[in-house]
Amino acid sequence: MCRRIRLVSSVPIIVLSVKQEEKTKVEALDAGADDYVTKPFGMEELLARIRAALRRAEPHTPSDATIRNGDFVMDVQNRTVQVRGRDVHLTPKEFDLLLYFLQNAGRVLTHKAVLNAVWGRAYVNQSESLRVYVGQLRKKLEPDATGPKYILTEPWIGYRFVTGDPS
């Protein structure tokens, strides 16, 4: 079940089970579970584990939110973007990618994390596709796509999105 859920979502998964064998726990965690709790357990412990899983979950932006960050204004509900006061047309996937970058501005994001969040777990090894989309975004967003100031490459790791002065 965890594997099937992970194909479409990154929602936190906590397994509650009577099975205490290490092999079973490892299988569940390897299949995509975030935590494994064996019965019996105390309600306070379960609630603490739920709070911890939610803290680690990806930030959620309400669908009616407007995100303002540096030169960027993104209307999530209408799926519109302005950069330096100029409307920018993005494809649906470019919009989703930029939304993820804005939600995580300043953080180093691994290729796998970006691919999982934007495309889903089944695409975490498609770094070449990600590179193409980042290139397209740079052409549309950057003042100079050959010397990006917003979408910075972290060699062999991934990307960092910055909206202020990167120096």
CATH code of the domain covering residue 44: 3.40.50.2300
Supply the pLDDT for residue 90. 96
**Confidence category of residue 166, pLDDT binned at 50, 70, 90:** very low
Q: Find the mean pLDDT for residues 127-144.
A: 94
29 within some domain: yes
61 within some domain: no
Q: Is the dihedral of CA 44, 50, 54, 56 positive or negative?
A: positive
CATH code of the domain covering residue 118: 1.10.10.10
167 within some domain: no
Q: Find the mean pLDDT for residues 2-12.
A: 76
Supply the pLDDT for residue 61. 62
What is the chain's alpha carbon radius of gyration, rounded to the nearest angstrom?
19
Count of structural domains within the chain: 2
Does 83 lie in the same domain as 36? no
Does 100 lie in the same domain as 42? no
Q: Find the mean pLDDT for residues 108-120.
A: 89
Supply the pLDDT for residue 134. 97
pLDDT over 50 (residue 148):
yes
Domain that holds residue 142: 66-161
Find the DSSP H helices in the chain. 2-8, 22-30, 43-56, 92-103, 111-118, 127-141
Does 85 lie in the same domain as 137? yes
Does 143 lie in the same domain as 80? yes
Output 105 or 4, whichever has higher pLDDT.
105
